[in-house]
Amino acid sequence: MKYLEEFDTCDQLRNYIINNIKQVGLCKSLKKSHPNIYTFFVSLFQRHPEKERKGVALINDISIRRYPISNFTPLPISDHWFFIIKNNGEEESISWEICITGEKCPVEKRLTTAMRYTIDDQIRYFKFKNREKPCELCGSSLNPTADHIIKFKKLKDDFLTLNSNRIPTEFSKNDLSQDIFREEDVVFSEDWWIYHYDKATLRILCRDCNQKLDNYEDNI
C-alpha cells in the first residue's frame, strides 16, 4: 500500500486509485476483503472538502457497488459506486475523484458537471443502443465510449450564450456527490436537455481512440 504523500502528481494518485478499483471490483466490505486498500481509501476520504457533512470521521467500513443504471460489461471505473458505512450504521455515498485535489470546484466546473449529468441518460442510451457497434476509427469492440462529433464544449458554450441571463451559480448534490441542478433551475435543465438532444451528434469510439483526440476532455 502507498501513502498519499508518496504521490508527486494528481495523475499518479488517480492512476493508483483506478488500479485499486480494478483489483477490488465490487465488494460489500472493503475492510474485510482488502484491508490495506481499505486503509488507503479511509486516508484518501479525509481529503474530501465536505468530510464533516459526509461523516468521514465515523467510517467503519467501505462498500463498492454497481451504479444502479449501469448495464455495461466490464463495468466502467466511473460506475463503481463508493459508500462509507459509519459506526452508527448509516451509509453515505462518496466521490473518490474529488478527494484527489481535496478542493471545492469553481462554479464553472460545477456548471459543466451539472450539464453533463443532465444529458447522461442520452449518452447511456446511445451507448446501449449501439453496444454491438465497433469503434468507427479502428474497428475495436473494446471499451466503447460515446464521442461528440460536435464538441461538447461547443454545444455547452453555445447554449450558455443563448441563455446568458439565467445561468445557475448554485447547485445541489445527488447520491454520488455529483453537482446537479437545483429544483429552482428545472426549466434551465430541461431546456439544455432538449438543446443537446436536438444538436448533438454522437459516434462510438473505443477509449484508446477517443483519448488520442486533441479535444478528448471536451468530447466525452
Note the maximum CA span of the chain.
52
What is residue 2's predicted lDDT score, i.e. its pLDDT?
A: 79
Q: Which residues contact 207 (CB under 8 A, 6 or more apart)?
A: 142, 143, 144, 145
Residue with cell 462529433: 149
CA 84 to chain centre: 17
CA 187 to chain centre: 24
Cell numbers that stand for 42 in this block:
479511509
**From CA 195, how far away is CA 163, in angstroms rounded?**
11
What is residue 98's predicted lDDT score, i.e. its pLDDT?
A: 87
Domain ranges of the chain: 4-101, 107-219
What is residue 190's predicted lDDT score, i.e. its pLDDT?
A: 97
Which regions in the chain score pLDDT beneath 70? Answer: 69-72, 103-105, 176-177, 214-220
Cell numbers that stand for 137 in this block:
476509427
Type of residue at 4: L
3-state secondary structure 49-105: CCHHHHCHHHEEEEEEEECCCCCCCCCCHHHEEEEEEECCCCEEECCCCHHHHCCCC
What is residue 86's predicted lDDT score, i.e. its pLDDT?
A: 96
Q: Are 106 and 94 in contact (CB under 8 A)?
A: no
CA distances in angstroms from 33 to 37, 59, 171, listed in the order given: 9, 16, 36
Cell numbers that stand for 133 in this block:
457497434
CA distances in angstroms from 84 to 15, 59, 94, 179, listed in the order given: 21, 6, 7, 19
Cell numbers that stand for 189 in this block:
435543465
**From CA 3, how far away is CA 189, in angstroms rounded?**
40
What is residue 115's predicted lDDT score, i.e. its pLDDT?
A: 96
Q: pLDDT tens digits for 136-145?
A: 999 999 889 9
What is residue 104's predicted lDDT score, i.e. its pLDDT?
A: 65
The domain 4-101 having CATH identifier 3.10.450.40: the answer here is: yes
